[in-house]
Amino acid sequence: MRFAASLLALVALATPLPLAAQLPIPVYLQAGLGIAVPRGDVAASEGGFSASTGPTFSIGARVHPIPSVGLFVQYEQSRFGCDDCTIVGLDDRAVLESIGGGMRYALPVPAFRLSPWVEGTLVRQTLGFSDGNHTLASDADFGFSAGAGVTIPIASRFAIEPGLRYLNMPANLEFELYPDRDVDVTAFTLDVGLAFRL
């Protein structure tokens, strides 16, 4: 549901102008696919849930009011493996979903047509567990990610954007039967994005 809503929002973002001509201000639709490698407490059994590496993907849009600075919004979902979950009858994954916005600073290197960048993102995220019938998700909380990558143009409107990010996204789970539990989700994500300029 949330994913569908995000898609609709992105479509809304994309529809004001026809695709035939490039916009005077660069606007990109972007999507990424990669892996998320959990670190710290979340990867441990005590204080975490033995999270293991899982897939991650993202979609979003980015505008560049000036060539070196991009502002973006994106939806991201990481599906960590969860060995502790299967022991107790939960699905074998914990899903971290986030929606946020950030800023990218690009450093053009004309000689190589590459554009290294760094970016930071402020997100609002939830961590969810499911038993196949119901999902129990944490309260929405604020987190962040920071990363670096490089934009590699591959066609007039397309570029691939491999990147490495560090994310820190705390999750507070409220229960009726138990005291609250806090899980500090930290991970590295390594992904390859595809950007399409409108």
Partner 1 sequence: MIYRYLPAAVALVALSACQETDTPTSALLEQRVVTALGGLEIGESLSLSGEAAAEVVLGGSESAGDFILIPFHASREQGAELAVGLGGTDLGTPGPSQRAPDPRGGWTVPESSLPGWEMHESMLARFRTGAEAARSKLPSGLGPQALANLVPSSDLRGGDLAVDQLVELNTDTDGDFCADLDVRTGRVEAISSGAVVVADVDNPKDGFTRSDYEVFAERFDSLIEPTITGAFGEPTDIDDNGRVVVFFTRAVNELTRPTDEGFVGGFFYSRDLFPDTPADPCPASNQGELFYVLVPDPAAVASHIPHTRDGVFAGALGTIGHEYQHLINASRRIWVNQANSFEETWLDEGLSHIAEELLFYADAGLSRHSNVSLDDIFGSTQLLNAINQFGIQNLIRYGLYLEEVTNDSPTGAGDALGTRGATWAFLRYLADHQPRSDPEFFHDLVNSQDAGFDNLASVVEGDPVDWLQQWGVSVYADDLVTAAADSAFQQPSWDFRSLLPELFGDFPLFVRTLSGSGTLEFDVVSGTSGYVQFRSPANGAAQLSIDSGGETPPAKLRVTVVRTK
CA distance 109 to 169: 33
By CB under 8 A, name the one of 19, 23, 69, 107 that touches partner 1. Answer: 23
Within 137-176, the residues that bind partner 1 by CB under 8 A are 137-140, 173-176
CA distance 56 to 95: 10
Minimum distance between the CB of residue 63 and partner 1, rounded to whole angstroms? 6
Is there binding between residue 124 and partner 1 (CB under 8 A)? yes
Is there binding between residue 19 and partner 1 (CB under 8 A)? no
Contact 31, 45 (CB under 8 A): no
Is there binding between residue 65 and partner 1 (CB under 8 A)? yes
CA distance 100 to 142: 9
Contact 51, 78 (CB under 8 A): no
Minimum distance between the CB of residue 44 and partner 1, rounded to whole angstroms? 8
Contact 164, 134 (CB under 8 A): no
CA distance 95 to 79: 5
**Chain contacts with partner 1 (rule: CB under 8 A):** 2, 5-6, 9-10, 12-13, 16-17, 23-25, 27, 45-49, 63, 65, 73, 82, 84-85, 87-90, 97, 99-101, 124-126, 129, 131, 133-140, 173-179, 181, 183
